Structure formats: C-alpha cells, structure tokens
Amino acid sequence: MEPFFRWCSVLFDQVFCGAALSREQLRAASKEVQIIIPNSDDYGSSLAVQAQSGALCLLSALLVLVGDEKDVVVGVANSVADALDNFAYFVGNQISESDDAPGTCELLQREMARQLYDARTITDLMRRGVGALTEWRIENRQFTVPSAI
C-alpha cells in the first residue's frame, strides 16, 4: 500500500501547498494506484473492502485531476457507502460475538469518540490553518485501514 500513502501525500501537498503535478504525472500515478487496488474477494478479512474503497477514492481523485473522467464522483460516493456499510457489518459481527451490549462495545465506543473528535477538528480547521490540518492528517495515519480519507 506504499503507493497509496505516497500519492495521498502528494495530492495533499498539491491541494494545500500548490505543488502542481503535470497530466503525465497524474496519469502515471493513476496507473500505479490502479495496480494496488485489492480485490476484496481475494482476502479473508472483512476489512479488505475498506482498503479497496480507499484506493478507489484515491484513483478517482487522480482521474478527476487528469481531466479524463468526469463522472467518477458517483463512484466515489458508492465507495464511501460500501466502506461504511462494510464497517457497520464488521462492528455488528464484533458485537454479536461479544456479551457486550451495543452501547458498551469498546470498538464502537472508540469509533464514535474518534468520529466526534474528527468532526470537531474539521469544523475548527478554517481558524487553525493548514499547519493544523497537516498535524491532524499525520495523527490520523495511525487509524488508517485505509478508509475513505
């Protein structure tokens, strides 16, 4: 997944630091990312869909920047929905195999707390600036499955 993280960083720099890429570089990046997209049928983990969705979203961002694809936004929305549905299924399985009630499931509580923290942080980003966004992004790498970042 090294190309995934590398190209996410490059795109982040392009958006927030003005480091423009040529169409040729974007096309090369999209080919590199396309190769690493996992086929969820090839993996036993229910979280393989998370990795697949993240890579598909990155590929879509690259294709939009190249200008070759204009309708990929629908595909991105579907990838995000698939990742969320899959995560809900994963958490549901964790809860059903546990004696914990949904309100006390540690995994679900941790995820809810993280989502609330992220929502507060994103809301505050305009005031805090790009440096804070970079710090938040680095902090979030430890939680990357990768999901649809």
Q: How far is CA 49 from the centre of its chain?
A: 11
pTM score: 0.62
Q: Pinpoint the alpha helices (H) of 18-71.
A: 23-36, 48-66
The single residue listed with the structure tokens 């649809």 is 148
Sequence spans of domains, the chain: 2-143
Ordered per-residue pLDDT tens for the chain, 149 residues? 788 888 988 888 777 777 788 899 999 999 999 998 877 677 666 667 777 778 888 888 888 888 866 677 777 777 777 777 777 777 777 667 655 555 566 766 776 777 777 777 767 765 777 677 777 777 766 655 544 44
